[in-house]
Chains A and B, each alone.
Chain A
Amino acid sequence: MQDFGEAVGMAVSLVASGDGDLIEIVLLSLRVSLTATALSCVVGLLLGAVLAVTRFRGRQAVIVAVNALMGLPPVVVGLLVYLHLSRAGPLGFLGLLYTPTAMIIAQTLLITPIVTALSRQVLEDLHSEYAEQFRSFCLSRGQIVRALLWDARYSLLTVALAGFGRAIAEVGAVIIVGGNIDHLTRVMTTAIALETSKGDLALALALGLVLMAIALAVNVVVQGVRLTAVRHAYA
């Protein structure tokens, strides 16, 4: 395990040196994964809420399908997006392959089922708890969805973090649709894969540690926001 000690030292000095390339890669990772998380929340929270409050034929089947899609392999998502965005594919004219946009699309597709499935469960539990009040106030579906989303906001923040965690950690999709192009589409995970393939395991591990530190920082920020909001709410 001498690599591990070396990696820790390297990670610290990488961060301390403020290496320009590293900062660029870190910022692109954050931009891609945070945007994908935000987009998947817009779609996923709405879908989750609709699934939670409506009753229709085949609803159980839809829920099972969405839950199963949480296990969508990143490499399959990458392939599907590649086939669509390739110049030979139906959306090739957009010229989006090997751009950060393609990576955002792939990660959004990857994590929307996670956000949908988890928020559906959270909101459905809350809904059954509030069902009687909603009925006594004669609220419309739209008002119910809005009330549920607002009341469950702290739990949904954790749902969003689960989606973000999946997005920032995956390599299979972004390496296919982004191409790991230096200064253009290289993110933390593809950089780690590259260094591993060069046999520079210590540097790869150091980058991995930096990536974990970033994920930690994002979670710390979110937790800080949550605590401040809770304090204000009960002040």
Chain B
Amino acid sequence: MRTRQTVLATAIALVALALPAHAKDGAILVQSTTSTANSGLYDYLLPMFQDKTGIRVNVVAVGTGQAIKNATNCDGDVLLVHAKPAEEAFVAEGGGVARTDLMYNDFVIVGPADDPAGVGGMTDVEAALDKIAGSGALFASRGDDSGTHKKERALWAEAGIDPTTASGGWYRETGSGMGATLNTGIGMGAYVMTDRATWISFANKQDYEIQVQGDEDLFNQYGVILVNPEKCPSVNAEGGQAFIDWLLSAEGQAAIADYRVAEQQLFFPNAPQ
């Protein structure tokens, strides 16, 4: 019967379309924080690594909290994030092999040009947060358990303020990524804490400027971890380790230092030599 053949052919075609087009061919999957992806660092680094080794690197860019969660579920080979205590806990629980410092930059607090809380130029971040809280000016928080959010909560705690009591008031938790939070914060005239790399490469700054920077407490360390192949047999340990080794090598570190956006260096390599 002709219809039956047509049905069969259609079914085969559908299955063929739905199946993976190519095998995994030794590619590795990096669970990453968003700032390294959104700032274009991977677009710069990965082709160099791929040319050298032939290993394709796939990047899933989510918040640090979600990246660690995904890696805990064995959905990735390498973890590249920025929340040292959470990373160390991940390794201690057997999720990762070892954690190594990779590079750093810093956080800044951006705000509207008219600076309603009058924090412009301050270098003491706790004092600046105290001033923002006291002024009633809006502050937009990530609210998503990302690395930036963890850092921000730690800074509020050091300033002795619990902003969550004002949640929905002057303290606005967007529950979304860095870029989305910047878009939202800028839309409502709120102060936002962001990593410098995301800020420099962010294209919707409008009248926003960096208001607070330069405090040691705003240091932002990135770390890299191989997901534990003993816990997760699916891990491409060879490829993942090759990527980590390259990032930590003199060549990889120099490449990180060379990356510029708007003539500014975004990440400062500091792997142990």
Q: Which residues of A contact B (CB under 8 A)?
A: 31, 35, 38-39, 42, 86-89, 92, 95-101, 104-105, 179-182, 184, 194, 196-201
Decide: A200 and B203 in contact? CB cutoff 8 A. Answer: yes
In angstroms, how far is the closest chain B Cβ from the Cβ of A77?
Answer: 16
In the complex, the number of residue pairs spanning A and B with C-beta atoms less than 8 Å apart equals 82
Given contacts A179-B60, A196-B180, A199-B205, contact A101 B14 (CB under 8 A): no
Q: Which residues of B contact A (CB under 8 A)?
A: 10-11, 14, 17-21, 24, 29, 34, 38, 58-61, 70, 72-75, 177-180, 182-183, 201-205, 232, 234
Decide: A101 and B19 in contact? CB cutoff 8 A. Answer: yes
Decide: B58 and A98 in contact? CB cutoff 8 A. Answer: yes
Interface of B is mostly: mixed
Q: Quick one: closest B residue to A179, CB to CB? A: B60
Q: List 9 A-B contacts (CB under 8 A).
A: A35-B14, A35-B18, A38-B10, A42-B14, A86-B73, A95-B24, A196-B180, A198-B203, A199-B182
Given contacts A101-B19, A199-B203, A201-B204, contact A181 B58 (CB under 8 A): yes
The interface residues of chain A lying within 8 Å CB-to-CB of B17 are 31, 35, 104
Interface of A is mostly: loop
Decide: B58 and A184 in contact? CB cutoff 8 A. Answer: yes
Decide: B183 and A104 in contact? CB cutoff 8 A. Answer: no
In angstroms, how far is the closest chain A Cβ from the Cβ of B185?
Answer: 11
Given contacts A35-B14, A38-B14, contact A181 B75 (CB under 8 A): no
Given contacts A35-B17, A42-B14, contact A199 B202 (CB under 8 A): yes
Interface centre among B74, B177, B204, B234 (most CB of A within 10 A): B204
The interface residues of chain A lying within 8 Å CB-to-CB of B183 are 196-197, 199, 201
Complex: A179 Cα to B70 Cα, angstroms: 11
The interface residues of chain B lying within 8 Å CB-to-CB of A95 are 24, 234
Given contacts A88-B73, A98-B29, A98-B60, contact A104 B18 (CB under 8 A): yes
Interface centre among A92, A101, A105, A197 (most CB of B within 10 A): A197
Interface centre among A92, A99, A179 (most CB of B within 10 A): A179
The interface residues of chain A lying within 8 Å CB-to-CB of B73 are 86-89
Q: Quick one: closest B residue to A97, CB to CB? A: B75
Decide: B203 and A88 in contact? CB cutoff 8 A. Answer: no
From B18, B204, B234, give the contact of A199 (CB < 8 A): B204
Decide: B234 and A100 in contact? CB cutoff 8 A. Answer: no
With A197-B178, A198-B38 given, name 20 new contacts (CB 8 A): A42-B14, A86-B74, A87-B75, A87-B234, A92-B234, A96-B20, A100-B21, A104-B18, A179-B58, A179-B60, A180-B60, A180-B61, A181-B58, A181-B60, A184-B58, A196-B180, A197-B183, A198-B202, A199-B179, A201-B203
Decide: B203 and A86 in contact? CB cutoff 8 A. Answer: no
The interface residues of chain B lying within 8 Å CB-to-CB of A198 are 38, 179, 201-203
Decide: A197 and B18 in contact? CB cutoff 8 A. Answer: no
The interface residues of chain B lying within 8 Å CB-to-CB of A196 are 179-180, 183
Complex: A98 Cα to B62 Cα, angstroms: 13
In angstroms, how far is the closest chain B Cβ from the Cβ of A96?
Answer: 7
The interface residues of chain B lying within 8 Å CB-to-CB of A42 are 11, 14
The interface residues of chain A lying within 8 Å CB-to-CB of B179 are 196-199
Q: Quick one: closest B residue to A199, CB to CB? A: B204
The interface residues of chain B lying within 8 Å CB-to-CB of A201 are 183, 203-204
